[in-house]
Amino acid sequence: MLIRIPAAEGTAEALVARPSSGDGPFPGVIMYMDAFGLRPRIQEMAQHVADWGYVVLAPNVFYREGTVAELAPKADMTTPEGRQAAGRPAFARIGRLTAERALRDIDAWVAAVGALDGVQPGPIGTVGYCMGARLAIRTATAHPEVVAACGGFHGGGLATDEPDSPHLGLARARAQFVFGHADRDPSMAPDAVARLGAALEAAGLTASNQVYPGAPHGYSMADTSAFNPEATERHFRELRALLDGALKG
């Protein structure tokens, strides 16, 4: 289901997924999409998580650039050529979503998930894919009082030399973290994985920071040529253990 919610610079669409069965209320989870935006695959993934017993909000973080329909990939991303074609405008949008803009929006996403019908008061979880993993970390570090679980999968740019690198805020976080990195990913090279791990350890956080062998960047996205079923299933297992342990414990 698509809803409209107030964001920092306008109105944003967002997907909401609810459990197919069971009586609420349920913990809330913010799911951050990858660079290719809200589309049926993100809806499938949100519903998969919702059916574990969560209400999932997946916002269109590119709302400044257009609606969900306007930004939907037009190419067949199941081929490398199609994925590359869809990536060119998507990656330009990533560059325009600065850390400052993202943080103002994150306040809105946190408020929105807490206000959804059927969401229980208390801690929430967040998970992000590709560039969405950066947003998930920023959510956990900007709202440590409410974010108890944070997952990031095939994320890029999580621990860089830039002054606004997401990993630099981890000392403020109180969440449990799980990261499943793509193998040989230039956007998250071994030195960046090690830097992220060191920041998690220095902050005293409970965390898993693993590289999935043989899994390419984008491995969870079944509508693209990067899809890897084994890595996708592993990520779902680890994400469910994280959310259940932190939010249902």
In terms of Cα–Cα distance, which of 29, 26, 35 is closest to 57?
Answer: 29
Q: Among the options 34, 143, 150, 185, which is catalytic?
A: 185
- Distance in angstroms (rounded) separating the CA atoms of residues 60 and 67: 8
66: which DSSP letter?
-
According to DSSP, the residues that pair with 179 across neighbouring strands are 152, 209
Calculate the alpha carbon distances from 236 to 53, 61, 152, 176 in Å: 14, 23, 11, 16
User: Residue 104 is encoded by which pair of tokens?
Assistant: 């103002």
Our answer to whether residue 150 is catalytic in this structure is no
- Distance in angstroms (rounded) separating the CA atoms of residues 216 and 87: 15
The burial of 190, by beta-carbon neighbours within 10 Å (0-12 exposed, 13-18 middle, 19 or more buried), is given as: exposed
In what helix (H) or strand (E) does residue 207 lie, and over which residues does it extend?
A: strand 207-211
What residue type is assigned to position 34 of the chain?
A: D
Our answer to whether residue 76 is catalytic in this structure is no
Q: Among the options 130, 143, 181, 223, which is catalytic?
A: 130
Sign of CA dihedral 19, 25, 26, 32: positive
Q: Among the options 154, 217, 223, 235, which is catalytic?
A: 217
Our answer to whether residue 117 is catalytic in this structure is no
Cis-peptide into 123, omega within 30 deg: no
Judge whether 77 and 86 are in contact, CB under 8 Å.
Answer: yes
Point out the residues that are catalytic: 130, 185, 217
